[in-house]
């Protein structure tokens, strides 16, 4: 089993999409990349905590390679938007890949370089940042599997 943390805007939709991807074992809405321990949703939403709304993923790499997980990640959001996704604006909505190993980091860098050369990204720079998956904190329970709880 492998793990990853991905940020692509509001974690509700991202988690919902990842939950339906073959090879994903579990997901959890988290706050990643910030400077405050155990942040609240209000602290993260203020944009002052440094955290991104993100999704922690456990996946079976015999079914889903990390590179393929990242390809899916790039297909579900606009990686050319800096610190936003649609109407959600701020660093807490940044596009980010939080890596647990040097192999993950290298795979992410190589894929971003490769994608940047494709027609889809030839006019605009990919804004996705790569960060180390040092500290992350579970989001509050009401954020977990939000779409499923609301019947979407």
- Cα(66)–Cα(59) distance, integer angstroms: 9
b/e sequence 22-59, b meaning 16+ C-beta within 10 Å: ebbeebbbbbbbbeeeebeeebbbeeebbbbbbbbbeb
Q: Assign 51 to helix, strand or coil.
A: coil
Q: How far apart are CA 49 and CA 44, in angstroms?
A: 6
Active site residues: 10
Q: Which has the closest alpha carbon to 2: 17, 22, 24?
A: 24
């Amino acid at each position: 089993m492998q793990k990853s943390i991905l940020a692509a805007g509001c974690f509700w939709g991202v988690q919902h999409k990842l939950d339906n991807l073959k090879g994903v074992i579990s997901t959890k809405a988290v706050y990643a990349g910030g400077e405050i321990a155990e942040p609240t949703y209000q602290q993260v939403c203020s944009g002052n905590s440094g955290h991104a709304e993100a999704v922690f993923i456990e996946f079976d790499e015999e079914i889903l390679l990390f590179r393929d997980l990242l390809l899916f990640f790039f297909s579900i959001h606009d990686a050319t938007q800096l610190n936003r996704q649609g109407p959600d604006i701020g660093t807490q909505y940044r596009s980010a890949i939080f890596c647990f190993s040097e192999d993950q980091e290298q795979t992410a860098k190589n894929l971003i370089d490769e994608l940047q050369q494709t027609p889809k990204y030839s006019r605009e720079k990919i804004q996705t940042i790569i960060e180390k998956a040092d500290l992350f904190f579970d989001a509050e329970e009401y954020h977990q599997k939000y779409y499923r709880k609301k019947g979407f």
